[in-house]
Amino acid sequence: MSEKTKVILDVDTGSDDAIAMMLALLCPRLEVLGITTVNGNLPVSNTTENTLRVVELLNAQIPVYLGCAAPLVSELLPQRHLRSAPLSVVTNGKTVCYHREYLTELPAATTKPQPRSAVCYLIDTLLASQGDITIVAVAPLTNLAVAMRADPRIVKKIKRLVIMGGGHLQSNVTSAAEFNFWKDPEAAQIVLQSGCDILLVPLDATHRAYAGAAESRFLRQLHTPVGDVAASLLDFSIEAYNAMEPLDCAPANTAPLHDALAVCAVIEPQVLGNVQFRRVDVDFSGGVCDGMAVIDRRMCTDKPANVHIALDCDRERFIRLLLDTLASAK
């Protein structure tokens, strides 16, 4: 049997982060060494509690490390974040949002995060490694940027960095930007320019990694705790996308599972399509393009490529791997 791929997950759980964690923790081809949390979809105390809840659901003995509580600098200028699309709306007297404060389908966590911070954990673990750890970052990149600034030696120790973030022809939180990059644009730029081997999974790919009623029914019919929770998270996301963000590249009554696609890309890289090696920079000038991933697609360019970026995905393959893996839970 071939060796498992060692991974560290960096999350801001979060509905789709929770499904991504389930995929990673249940997949026999991955060895999840640890999970770091960060401020993003919710404050870091919430993303950490939600992460612990999912780890406990899976009975996994995986350490969770509390990460950065705020972006590097973007929140020092509050007007910078005023242009974003609403993250919740009230329809028929009911509040619909992308990510609830807590994953209420799961009981409060009984475990605690580790005493060491996420940044220290990343530095210590990477420096002590054989250069064989893949990092899957599906949240604002604050932890990684701080770790790289604090000890740049980690850059060469990261085998591959798979990031869910950015978009080329797709955006979500503003007309220009994707949420994870927009939330901490300086961190995103630091990480993209670090020299790491980076695979970027942007909205162009994740918006095609959607799931809907058929997938939700399949999950419920498993009659397992994992199946029930995943179905409930998916139904919740579908309601949010219907109310706030119907997509032009997906049918109605579906929701994209952004973060799970990034995990899937580690397990089965062929799930990604149209992968190009390009120069990608993140705008952090505070204007209308704040947080935007700028992809240089010119044939002749003076800047070296820094990122493999996937502009498409094989949805059927993704859904098959996701459902088969979630179905393997007892």
Q: Which of 99, 168, 207, 258 is catalytic?
A: 258
Q: Which of 5, 10, 14, 199 binds ligand BDR (CB under 6 A)?
A: 14
138 binds ligand BDR (CB under 6 A): yes
Q: Which of 5, 7, 8, 14 binds Ca ion (CB under 5 A)?
A: 14
User: What residues between 231 and 260 interact with Ca ion by CB under 5 A?
Assistant: 259
Which residue's Cβ lies closest to ligand BDR? Answer: 179
Contacts of 317 by beta carbon, 8 Å cutoff, 6+ apart: 268, 270, 271
Cβ pair 171, 295 in contact under 8 A: no
180 binds ligand BDR (CB under 6 A): yes
User: What residues between 249 and 278 interact with ligand BDR by CB under 6 A?
Assistant: 258-259
Q: Which of 181, 185, 190, 175 is nearest to 163 (CA)?
A: 181
- Measured distance between the N- and C-terminal CA atoms of the chain, rounded to whole angstroms: 23
- Min dist. Cβ of residue 46 to Ca ion (A): 13
Containing 295, the helix (H) or strand (E) segment is: strand 293-296
Give the C-alpha separation, 300 to 172, whole Å: 29
Among this protein's residues, is 207 annotated catalytic?
A: no
Judged by beta carbon distances under 5 to 8 A according to partner kind, the member of ligand BDR, Ca ion, none in contact with residue 241 is: none
Give the C-alpha separation, 188 to 163, whole Å: 10
209 binds ligand BDR (CB under 6 A): no
| C-beta closer to ligand BDR: residue 138 or 219 | 138
| C-beta closer to ligand BDR: residue 157 or 259 | 259
Binding pattern for the stretch 15-54 against Ca ion, x by CB under 5 A and - elsewhere: --x-------------------------------------
Give the C-alpha separation, 71 to 38, whole Å: 9
Structure tokens at 236: 């919740």
Contacts of 22 by beta carbon, 8 Å cutoff, 6+ apart: 54, 57, 58, 226, 229, 230, 325, 326, 329
Structure tokens at 262: 């990034």
What are 160's strand-pairing partners? Answer: 134
Binding segment (CB under 6 A) for ligand BDR, from list 10-18, 62-70, 111-119, 240-248 = 10-18
Give the C-alpha separation, 166 to 204, whole Å: 9
- Min dist. Cβ of residue 139 to ligand BDR (A): 6
236 binds ligand BDR (CB under 6 A): no
Binding pattern for the stretch 86-125 against ligand BDR, x by CB under 6 A and - elsewhere: ------------x---------------------------
Q: What is the rounded (10 degree) CA torsion for 5, 7, 13, 15?
A: -10
Structure tokens at 96: 């619909």
- Min dist. Cβ of residue 36 to Ca ion (A): 12
Binding segment (CB under 5 A) for Ca ion, from list 10-18, 28-36, 185-193, 260-268 = 10-18
17 binds ligand BDR (CB under 6 A): yes
User: What residues between 99 and 158 interact with Ca ion by CB under 5 A?
Assistant: 138-139
Which DSSP category does 138 fall into?
-
Give the C-alpha separation, 148 to 228, whole Å: 39
Give the C-alpha separation, 211 to 67, whole Å: 30
Which residues are identified as catalytic? Answer: 258
| Positions that interact with Ca ion (CB under 5 A) | 12, 14, 17, 138-139, 259
| Positions that interact with ligand BDR (CB under 6 A) | 14, 16-17, 41, 98, 138-139, 164, 172, 178-180, 258-259
